[in-house]
Amino acid sequence: MNIDQLNEILTEEKISKQACLINPRPLVEGALCLNEQEDGSWLVILNERGNFLIHQSFSLESDACRFVLKHVLSDPTYREDFKQSDLFSWKEKKKNILEKYELE
């Protein structure tokens, strides 16, 4: 998987463009950010209130993209159409979505 494929899936799955960002400059606090580094490696960061909740480095674009995709598809709050009631039925939906993209 590459960045273009990731973007297509994020759009298809209605993932919020404010909650999941690719190559933002500067990094956006509170958003899951995927950044290509100068050395060609990939960094996934989620920073909230000065704390790194996620700080993962990947040597391959495909690994970084799969990590981001699995993370955002596993959490309904990343979706544009998120409703509180989604939390009650999310376990089964999550399983089906992750299987669809072979992430489970």
Orientation of helix 61-74 relative to helix 86-100, angle to 10°? 150
> How many Å apart are CA 23 and CA 92, to the nearest integer?
31
Q: Could you report the per-residue pLDDT of 19-31, keeping only the tens digit for each?
A: 999 999 888 899 9
Per-residue pLDDT of 30-86, as tens digits, reads 999 999 999 999 999 999 988 899 999 999 999 999 999 999 999 999 999 999 998
pTM of this prediction exceeds 0.85: yes
